Every structure is written in structure tokens, then in C-alpha cells.
Amino acid sequence: MDAIFNVLKPPKMTSHDVIGFLRRALNTKKIGHGGTLDPDAAGVLPVFAGSATRLLEFAVEGRKEYIAEFTLGAQTDTGDDSGEVVKTLPVPQFTQEQLLAVLARFIGPQLQLPPMYSAIKINGKKLYQLARQGVEVERTARPIEVYKLELLHYTETSFTVRVACSKGTYIRVLGEDLATALGTCGAMSFLLRTQVGAYTIDKAFTLQEIAANPDGCAAEPLTAVDALPKLRVNARQAARITNGVRTTLAGTADGRYVLLGPADEFLGIVRCEQERLQAEKILMHYAMPED
């Protein structure tokens, strides 16, 4: 199938496990997911099958939203409550106003140091593989942006927030940084991802639902790039562009576009520079008309 599945990933299952399940259920080898979700976390995991896998990069570019709980007083090696405690500190008393003030400090562009327990590769090895061997390597802080940090609930030793953020944001690290700003340490005790780009939890399907009715659960590949402007071309232009020929289209502004054929077929992604279109990702090759 050339489709995208908005999967409701259950906890205690890795993102790789989800791919394995759907590879068997859909009987396809060409399949991948957009944005790894921690094994203990649940929520939205977009899975791309067939030619839709060419659009995977667009899934991870989009806005992400989470509901996360952080428990204060103990920090773990993994950043969540599945790890070993490596530090404990007393939890100072704080008011709602103080907590809101701390949250406000973490809204906006910032640099974040990726955790050792992550899927980032350094010299061909994933960081979590090195971490399990007791090896810690130097990492470079990466630019991220937190768009929203909404306080949902708090107690003397924990708080729950709704987070909207850019790609590359580690919620576990955000929680550790928030705990430090409160004068203590902490770890993530719950994580639910509610949105990845165009895919939201209210329209997600369980693995069992997808296996039972894949056609009914499938989303069109176009949903991954629906935020991009559309550019419709005629048959001759479609044939040229999808077969790798740079094609002039007068009056087209520079930028990236969804390329549509004369019957609104989704052909792929193109980039325009100085009114010339160049294919970036082609999903369908269009035949040159005979006339």
C-alpha cells in the first residue's frame, strides 16, 4: 500500500516493534515511521508505507505536542522512571505562580543537549547502545523551540504539562531542565504524544484496527505535506518534471510545492528557483502525452 497510518502506539512497545507488526500485517517491506517514540510512551506514531516512505522527512519536520508528567526529587540515567536513580535532591516548596514563571522561561528558541539514551547516531552507533555499555560521549547542543508549555496539574512533588515543540525536542531533557530550574532534580513519569504534524491522537488507530481494516485506516500520502502550497501542471509539464527534466513555469515564486497533475494526481514534491521547477521527491512518473 502507498499510504500513511496514524498509529496509536501503546506503551511497552518500541517504534521498531510497531514497524515489525505492520510489516507483517500489511505484507510490505517498504515501511518506516516518522519520529521515534520512547518505548514507555504512548500516542501518535505516523507510519509510512510503499512510495509514501519518500515523504518521511516531512513528518518529522512538523509540530509535535505531548502531555507529560514529571516527578521531582530523583533523576535517572534514562531521564524517565524506567531507569536507575543516579541522583536525589530534596524538593523545595513552590507555588503555582513560581512554577508558571519557570515554565515561561522555557518557551521559545533554545539549545538542548540530547540525552545519552536516544537514537542519535555518533560514529555509526546509536547513543542508547553506547549508554547501555556504560560509555558516555560528548554531544553537541541542538537548536529546538518550545511553542507552548501549559500547566495542567501539579502537586508538591510532580507536575503535568501540555508541550508543543519543534522536531528534535527531548521531553525527558526538558523535564530535567525544568526540575533544575525549580531547585531540585526530576524524571519523566508519563508521556503521551498527541500530535505529529498533521496527525492527531483523536484520529489515530490501534495496531489491531489497522490489521483488521488497513484500507479503512489508511490516510492519503498527500496528508503528510498538506501544509505546502499546491502547484498544478499540465500533462506535458507533469511528464517532464516527474522524469527529471527541469521545467520553466513562468510566474512561479521560489519555494517548495506539492506537484499535482492535470487531474489533481499527487505526483510529488518540487522546488522552484527562478521560475524553474526541479523534482525533489517523485511518487508517480507521468507518461508523456502522444499529441
| Active-site hit among 38, 77, 80, 177 | 38
Q: Within a 10 A sphere around the Cβ of 55, how many other Cβ atoms?
A: 22
What beta strand segments (E) does the chain contain?
Answer: 3-9, 31-33, 42-49, 64-72, 74-76, 85-88, 108-112, 121-122, 125-126, 142-154, 158-165, 186-196, 199-200, 218-219, 230-232, 247-248, 255-260, 266-273, 276-282
Q: Which are the contacts of 210, defined by CB distance < 8 A and separation ≥ 6?
A: 5, 7, 22, 25, 26, 217
Q: Which are the contacts of 266, defined by CB distance < 8 A and separation ≥ 6?
A: 220, 221, 222, 258, 259, 260, 283, 284
* DSSP assignment letter at 80: B
C-alpha cell at 94: 513552590
d(CA 3, CA 5): 7
Residue 246 vs residues 267, 273, 286: alpha-carbon distances, Å = 15, 10, 14
* DSSP assignment letter at 39: T
38 is catalytic: yes
C-alpha cell at 31: 515501511
Q: Residue holding cell 520512547?
A: 38
Q: Which residues are catalytic?
A: 38
